[in-house]
Amino acid sequence: MGDTGMETPGFAFRVLHRHGHARVGRLTTPHGDVETPAFVAVGTQATVKSLTPDDLVEVGTEIIFANTYHLYLRPGADVVAELGGLHEFMQWHRPIMTDSGGFQVFSLGASIEQGVGKIAPIFPGETPEIPTRRKPTEGRSLVEVTDEGVRFRSHLDGSRHWFTPEVAIRVQRQLGADIILAFDECTSPLHDYEYTRQAMERTHRWALRSLEAFHATRPQHGYPQALYGIVQGGAYEDLRRRSTRFIAELPFDGFAVGGSLGRTKADMWRVLEWTVPDLPPDKPRHLLGIGEVPDIFAAVERGVDTFDCVAPTRMARNAGLLARTLDGERLPRFRINMRNARFRRDPRPPVEGCACPTCRTYSRAYLHHLFRANELLAYRLATLHNLFFMNRLMADIRAALQEGTFEALKAHWLGP
C-alpha cells in the first residue's frame, strides 16, 4: 500500500488535492472512509455525550475519538474487548481513534493525586474529558514517571495503576479502535526546557517500544489497526524539530502533534510550522486537542488533516451554540449563549440559516427554556448543532481547497 501512504494493510491515505501546505485527502480504515480535513468528535467514555450513533451519522460525523485512560478505568478494556471492541460496544460502525492514555494519566492522574486542579464537570455527575484546571508542575512530582512507564492513581477511586508503552498498546488492542496512538509523555506550557527535553526523549524511546509492542501483538477483533506516532517537544523550536525528525523516520501509519502548543495562538502556529512540514507528505497528520474555528483554519493551511477536540461538545452542554457572529467591534465570534435572556421570546431558529436537525426544528425560545430548566434535551440539541457545525465547516474547507477559494473562506470566517 506504499502509494497510499500508510503502513498497515487495510488502511490508506490518499491526498486528492493540495493547496499550499494544505491537503484534501481520504483516509481509508476498516470501518470506512474519512474525508479530510476532518473534525474528530470526542466520545470520551465510548459515547459522544448525549448522542446516539444514529445522531452522529445524521450530523455528518465520520470518525470519533475515545479516551483510553477513561475506558481502561471504566468499564475496563477487558470488558470492552469481551463485548467485541468499541465499535460493537457502543454500536458505532464508522472509524474510531483512541489516544494512548498518556495525556490523561499525566493530567487527571496528577491532579487527583494532588488534590489540586480539582476537576470541574460541566454539570454535577458528569465525568470530565480533561481537567479544566491543572498544575502539572506540581502534578509531575506525584505521578511517578520513570523510563519504564508511569505510575498513577485513578481519578475515580484513587486506585493505583501502571502504564507503559506495552500496556498502552495492549489496552488499545483490546479497545479495538481503527487508529491507535503510541504512548507519550505529555508536557504543558508550565514545564521548563530541560524537563520538556527529557520527556521528549522518553517519548522517543516509548515510540520505539510502542512500535515494537504493536508488531508483537495482533488485532483482537478481526480487522487491522493503524498506529500513529506522536511528536512532542513543547513550544521549543529545537525540541520540536528534533522530535519531528526522530518520529517521522519511524514506520508509523500516521503522525500526531501532541503536548504543549505554547500559550498563544501564535505559539501554536509556530509549533505547527516547526513540525508538520517535516512529516512524511503521504501520511495522515492529526493535531491533538485543537478545535476552535481560527485554529482549524491555521492548522489546515499548515498541512494538518484531522483534529479532535472536546470544545464543540463541551460548549454545547454549557449552552454555547457555534455560529458565525460578529460582536460589537466587528471581530468574529463563534458562540451564541442560549441562556441569554434576549432569547426568551425569540421564535427564530437558534442559528439562522443552519440546516442542522436542531435549527430546522426548534426556536431559540425553546432552547433557551430547556437550558434554563436544566432539561436533558437541551444538551442533546445543542450538541447536534455544534457537531453539525464542525462537520459542515470541514466540508466547506475541503470544497474551498479544491476550488482554490480557501483564502476567501478563511476571510469570510476570520475577517481580513
Q: Give the interface segment with a second copy, choosing from 102-110, 210-218, 234-242, 378-386 (CB under 8 A).
A: 378-386
106 binding a second copy? (CB under 8 A): no
Torsion angle (degrees, nearest 10) of CA 298, 120, 180, 142: 110
126 binding a second copy? (CB under 8 A): yes
Ranges within 331-360 binding a second copy (CB under 8 A): 344-345, 347
Ranges within 155-184 binding a second copy (CB under 8 A): none
Ranges within 235-254 binding a second copy (CB under 8 A): none
Catalytic, 184? Answer no
127 binding a second copy? (CB under 8 A): yes
| Least CB distance to a second copy at residue 255 (A) | 31
CA distance 295 to 330: 19
Give the residue with the Cβ less far from a second copy, 262 or 357.
357
Give the residue with the Cβ less far from a second copy, 56 or 257.
56
373 binding a second copy? (CB under 8 A): yes
| Least CB distance to a second copy at residue 269 (A) | 35
Angle between the N-to-C axes of helices 237-248 and 265-275, in degrees from 0 to 180, rounded to the nearest 10: 40
Residues contacting 411, CB < 8 A, separation 6+: none
Closest among 311, 299, 251 to 273, alpha carbons compared: 299
124 binding a second copy? (CB under 8 A): yes
| Least CB distance to a second copy at residue 361 (A) | 5
Give the residue with the Cβ less far from a second copy, 204 or 364.
364
Catalytic, 308? Answer yes
Give the residue with the Cβ less far from a second copy, 127 or 137.
127
Q: Give the interface segment with a second copy, choosing from 6-14, 19-27, 46-54, 103-111 (CB under 8 A).
A: 46-54
| Least CB distance to a second copy at residue 358 (A) | 10
CA distance 249 to 193: 24
Residue 245: how many other CB atoms lie within 10 Å: 12
Give the residue with the Cβ less far from a second copy, 264 or 361.
361
DSSP letter string, 336-376? EETT-GGGTT--S-SSTT--SHHHHH--HHHHHHHHHTT-H
Cβ-contact 263, 235 below 8 angstroms? yes
CA distance 221 to 22: 34
CA distance 51 to 54: 8
| Least CB distance to a second copy at residue 56 (A) | 11
Cβ-contact 387, 56 below 8 angstroms? yes
CA distance 180 to 70: 15
User: If DSSP codes are grouped into helix, strand and coil, which group holds residue 59?
Assistant: coil
Pairing of strands 38-42, 64-66: parallel
Binding mask 53-92 toward a second copy (x if CB under 8 A, else -) reads ---------------------xx---x--xxx----xxx-
Angle between the N-to-C axes of helices 293-301 and 406-414, in degrees from 0 to 180, rounded to the nearest 10: 160
361 binding a second copy? (CB under 8 A): yes
Active-site annotation holder among 55, 308, 327, 346: 308
Q: Catalogue the active-site residues.
A: 99, 308
List residues near a second copy by CB under 8 A: 45-47, 49-52, 74-75, 79, 82-84, 89-91, 123-127, 344-345, 347, 361-363, 365-366, 368-370, 372-377, 379-381
